[in-house]
Amino acid sequence: MAAIPLPNLPVHDLQGRDFLDFADFSAAELQQLLDLSIELKQKHKAGVPYRPLAGKTLGMIFEKASTRTRVSFEVAMNQLGGQAMFLSGRDTQIGRGEPLPDTARVLSRYLDGVMIRTFGHESVIEFAHYATVPVINGLTDLHHPCQVLADVLTLWEKKGKVQGLTVTYIGDGNNMANSWLIAAPKFGINLRIATPQGYECDPQVVEQAQKLAAEHGTELLLTHDPVAAVTDTDMIYTDVWASMGQEEEQKLREQHFAAYQVNQELVAHAKPDYLFMHCLPAHRGEEVTAEVIDGPNSVIFDEAENRLHVQKAIIVATMA
């Protein structure tokens, strides 16, 4: 079967761009990425080969371990005709203190793009500043845009639209919540976030989100009341209470987050056809009960699969 040409979408405007944060993209550009994700997934399911990255290599720097990020990016590059190279801090000079600007400039001479999964968001910004190839944020402590784009694709698949829907995030005001804050208004999604006191989202991200919500005419609710947040919502989202690097806070967080568990009592306030999502890995019995995450409203594995397809779109849009 012959390879298909680039889908007829104006993603050429994104060539050479970094993908670090939703704030760097307009609503129209994010919609282009979503449309490309849909088209590439449809072609993949139909068995139509599309290999625009033949001869190209994506370097993948991991300072935080991952299952979904590593496998989905490697498979994405393989399906697109290129290859991916795993680079951990233990295997490179980064782990021995080489300055990020030097690493970025050297790797740009070898690679066609770099994906980074790390702790500080400022490290990704610094790396991208000095790199001369596209840089993709695979996760930082502040943002996780690849995951949220996969979530939006899943919402669109299950509901037939995203504009005008209400998404509720319950739990820690972490990178997932921060990325939802910026993405939701740009996709026309109403967003509610319920966090315990002291675990709210980043104030600067909240300020950005409030301005975007006013600009795009969407609703934004930040509350400490999980029941108010989930009432009549279309989707409920949660994440682990203690993210990687916060393990020493686990016991304390279990006390503070106990009232924010997504369980049958809480989801009863949502719409009957609500969707449940989780970025995984999940701790059943902590942030969500098994009855909810394994129940009929849960779409966590479709959501996880969609990481592959949105990342293919990001790679194609920036590197092809």
Q: Which of 239, 253, 261, 278 is catalytic?
A: 239
pLDDT number for residue 2: 39
17 belongs to a structural domain: no
Q: Is residue 191 located within the same domain as residue 285?
A: yes
How do strand 57-62 and strand 113-117 relate by DSSP bridges? parallel
User: pLDDT tens digit string along 146-171?
Assistant: 999 999 999 999 999 999 999 999 99
User: pLDDT tens digit string along 273-314?
Assistant: 999 999 999 999 999 999 999 999 999 999 999 999 999 999
70 marked as binding residue:
no
> Dmax over Cα atoms in the chain, in whole Å?
57
129 in active site: no
| CA atoms of 26 and 43, how far apart (whole Å) | 26
Amino acid at 213: A
pLDDT number for residue 12: 59
| CA atoms of 9 and 134, how far apart (whole Å) | 19
pLDDT-based confidence at residue 254 (cuts at 50, 70, 90): very high
Q: What percent of the chain has pLDDT over 70?
A: 95
CATH number for the domain harbouring residue 220: 3.40.50.1370
67 marked as binding residue:
yes
Q: Which of 143, 278, 307, 309 is catalytic?
A: 307
195 marked as binding residue:
no
248 belongs to a structural domain: yes
pTM: 0.94
Q: Is residue 120 located within the same domain as residue 151?
A: no
Q: Is residue 168 located within the same domain as residue 289?
A: yes
Q: Region 19-44: what's the mean pLDDT? A: 97
Q: Is residue 35 located within the same domain as residue 133?
A: yes
H or E element in which residue 302 lies: helix 300-319
Q: Is residue 186 located within the same domain as residue 296?
A: yes
pLDDT at 1 over 80: no
4 belongs to a structural domain: no
Q: What is the mean pLDDT of the chain?
A: 94
242 belongs to a structural domain: yes
Q: Is residue 95 located within the same domain as residue 174?
A: no
pLDDT number for residue 246: 72
88 marked as binding residue:
no
Number of domains in the chain: 2
pLDDT-based confidence at residue 65 (cuts at 50, 70, 90): confident
Distance, C-alpha 70 to centroid of its chain: 14
10 belongs to a structural domain: no
pLDDT number for residue 249: 85
204 in active site: no
pLDDT at 95 over 80: no
Q: Which of 17, 143, 144, 278 is catalytic?
A: 144
pLDDT at 221 over 90: yes
Q: Is residue 275 located within the same domain as residue 175?
A: yes
Amino acid at 243: S
1 marked as binding residue:
no
pLDDT number for residue 243: 76
Residues 6+ away with beta carbon under 8 Å from 158: 275, 299, 302
Q: Which of 18, 79, 117, 202 is catalytic?
A: 117
109 in active site: no
pLDDT at 4 over 50: no
Q: Region 129-144: what's the mean pLDDT? A: 98
pLDDT at 11 over 70: no
147 marked as binding residue:
yes
Q: Which of 32, 112, 279, 311 is catalytic?
A: 279
Amino acid at 240: V
17 in active site: no
Q: Is residue 132 located within the same domain as residue 217?
A: no
280 marked as binding residue:
yes
Length of the chain: 320
14 belongs to a structural domain: no
Q: Is residue 151 located within the same domain as residue 291?
A: yes
User: pLDDT tens digit string along 73-89?
Assistant: 999 999 999 999 999 87
Q: Is residue 162 located within the same domain as residue 267?
A: yes
CB atoms within 10 A of CB 264: 10
- Map residue 31 onto helix, strand or coil: helix
pLDDT at 28 over 60: yes
Better-predicted residue by pLDDT, 9 or 222:
222
pLDDT number for residue 97: 79
User: pLDDT tens digit string along 259-284?
Assistant: 999 999 999 999 999 999 999 999 99
Q: Which of 147, 208, 261, 311 is catalytic?
A: 147
Q: Is residue 118 located within the same domain as residue 162?
A: no
How do strand 190-194 and strand 135-139 relate by DSSP bridges? unpaired
137 marked as binding residue:
no
pLDDT-based confidence at residue 10 (cuts at 50, 70, 90): low
16 belongs to a structural domain: no
Better-predicted residue by pLDDT, 98 or 232:
232
117 in active site: yes
302 marked as binding residue:
no
Q: Is residue 119 located within the same domain as residue 217?
A: no
90 in active site: no
Give the structural domain span for 35. Answer: 22-143+307-319
11 belongs to a structural domain: no
User: pLDDT tens digit string along 170-203?
Assistant: 999 999 999 999 999 999 999 999 999 999 999 9
| CA atoms of 190 and 263, how far apart (whole Å) | 22
